[in-house]
Amino acid sequence: MGQLLLPLFPHDVRMITLTLGVREANGTIYYLLSGMPLFAHEADDLTKFRYITSNLILQGLCSNQDIVDAFHVSTDSVRRWKKKLSEEGEKAFFTPETRHGYSHKLLPNVLVRIQGKLDTGQSVNSIAKEENISEGSIRYAVEHGYLKKKKF
């Protein structure tokens, strides 16, 4: 029978559990299991941090609360990351989001209709209620030049 692996850790390791620790060296974060490297990522890579911590929880190496206590992140965030990994897999963390910067309700025909209402002096609030969109969407379109608001 081979020798058992003792949980020996360098002195600068922050312990997550009795057998799982994390340390930073030269801008890289290392996750250690019984002293052996398990994962690593750059110190400023939040996406990999979220993926790795979720992976550690799903593998049963630590609990949600262990991650919350070790890294001082919110319980809701940890729960959300873990759910994302378990339901959508690894690709959910590493595929770029394409939904930013586009309002699916402000289509060209809607913009024309809203512009007509703005030209008559109707308030953004009333237009938003009529069109069933948020006031923020209309304000965003005005700020970015998609709509012109009359100055009274």
The pLDDT, as a whole number, for residue 44 is 95
The C-alpha atoms of residue 133 and residue 114 are separated, in whole angstroms, by 11
Look-up of token digits 């959508």:
88
Question: CA–CA distance from 83 to each of 7, 32, 79, 80 (Å)?
Answer: 30, 23, 6, 5
Q: Where are the domains of the chain?
A: 14-94, 99-152
CA atoms of 147 and 113, how far apart (whole Å): 10
For the chain, what is the radius of gyration of the CA atoms? 25
pTM value is: 0.64
Instruction: List pLDDT tens digits, range 72-98.
Output: 999 999 999 999 999 999 999 998 877
Instruction: Write the pLDDT tens digit of every residue in 20-29.
Output: 999 999 999 9
Decide if pLDDT at 1 tops 60.
no
Secondary structure element (H or E) that encloses residue 116, with its range: helix 108-119
Q: Considering only the top CATH level, what class is 99-152?
A: mainly alpha
The share of the chain scoring above pLDDT 70, in percent, equals 91
pLDDT score, position 5: 64
Tell me, rounded to whole angstroms, the distance of Cα 77 from its chain centroid: 8
pLDDT tens, residue by residue, 43-74:
999 999 999 999 999 999 999 999 999 999 99
Q: How far apart are the first and last CA of the chain?
A: 86
Residues 97-120 have pLDDT tens digits of: 776 666 667 888 999 999 999 999
Residues 4, 34 contacting (CB under 8 angstroms): no
Question: Residue 72: how many CA atoms within 13 Å on its side-chain side?
Answer: 1
Average pLDDT over residues 121-148: 90
Identify the residue with better confidence: 145 or 58. 58
Nearest to 54 by CA among 87, 21, 96: 87
